[in-house]
Amino acid sequence: MIPALDALRVVALDRLALHEDHDAARLERLRARIAAEGVQLNPVIVSPCNGRLLVLDGAHRFRALAELGCRLILVQVVRLPGRVEGWQHLLRGLSPSVLRGSSELAVSEDSAPEALAEVVFAGAGPLRILPRGDGLRGKVRALHALQGLYPAGVSVRRVEPEGRVTPGEGEALVRYRSFSPGELLEVVAAGEVLPAGITRFRIPERVLGVRYPLEKLVEGDPEERTSGLRELVRRRWEENRVRYYREPVILFE
């Protein structure tokens, strides 16, 4: 079988640790969909970290399952990448004056290696976003403050870190900085979370479409559930119901 399939596990929900916050509207939609479908469609991507499992991708799935009363969760265990990239956010309604009016962050037009993000507007050079507070908590507060300036209900389009996008009139492109794995572990250890949707992990051989029954996640022994999961995977493999794609995939959410 494909080696990535061996990385699927059913584990206790409370073993997972989050480094990133959630979007309330997205969480509500996902919770309703999971409840209606009765399955966890895709595994949460996790990496072992100080006795726990750090969530790399799937914070909304984690929270949705917790709110639905599940004590277990389907995960794919991977190695922690050496570098954590930052997404770019393209949106409308953000302006330089709004940025400069925040008391939680500082704005500079000069190059700043310590900048948490860059914001680019049509026809203008980037504005660098800096924390006003000291240390880790000052950085986290500044990042939350930046997202707090996004207009309510605005559509935010995520752009790949290397994507070359030029904002049009009335648009802003927010380029979030990359993080080291050590910085994420520091965030978790401090009991903090980064804003939603700013970290980007590249996961080779990501497993999708498992459709694990929700009823088996409400309670039970994780080891027994994992044994049953392995049998499910083996059966689907033998029935030729597993596809392996090397080419890029475009996914509608």
Work out the number of other CB atoms within 10 angstroms of the CB of residue 73: 27
pLDDT computed for residue 38 by the predictor:
97
Rounded to an integer, what distance in angstroms lies between the CA atom of residue 167 and that of residue 149? Answer: 18
Q: What is the pTM of this model?
A: 0.90
Rounded to an integer, what distance in angstroms lies between the CA atom of residue 114 and that of residue 127? Answer: 13
Rounded to an integer, what distance in angstroms lies between the CA atom of residue 23 and that of residue 60? Answer: 8
Per-block mean pLDDT, blocks of 10 residues, the chain (253 long): 91 95 92 97 94 94 97 96 92 94 91 92 91 90 95 92 91 94 91 94 91 96 96 93 85 76
End-to-end CA distance of the chain: 28
Rounded to an integer, what distance in angstroms lies between the CA atom of residue 78 and that of residue 8? Answer: 10
pLDDT computed for residue 66 by the predictor:
97
DSSP notation for the chain: --GGGGGEEEEEGGGEE-SB---HHHHHHHHHHHHHHTEE-SPEEEEEETTEEEEEE-HHHHHHHHHTT-SEEEEEE-PPPS-BEE-EEEEES--HHHHHT-SSEEEESS--TT-SEEEEETTSPPEEEEESS-HHHHHHHHHHHHHHTSPTT---EEE-TT------TTEEEEEEPPB-HHHHHHHHHTT--BPTT-EE---TT------EEGGGTSSS-HHHHHHHHHHHHHHHHHTT------S------
Q: What are the CA-CA distances from residue 87 to residues 90, 156, 198, 246 (Å)?
A: 10, 11, 5, 23
CB 187 within 8 A of CB 193: yes
Work out the number of other CB atoms within 10 angstroms of the CB of residue 128: 21
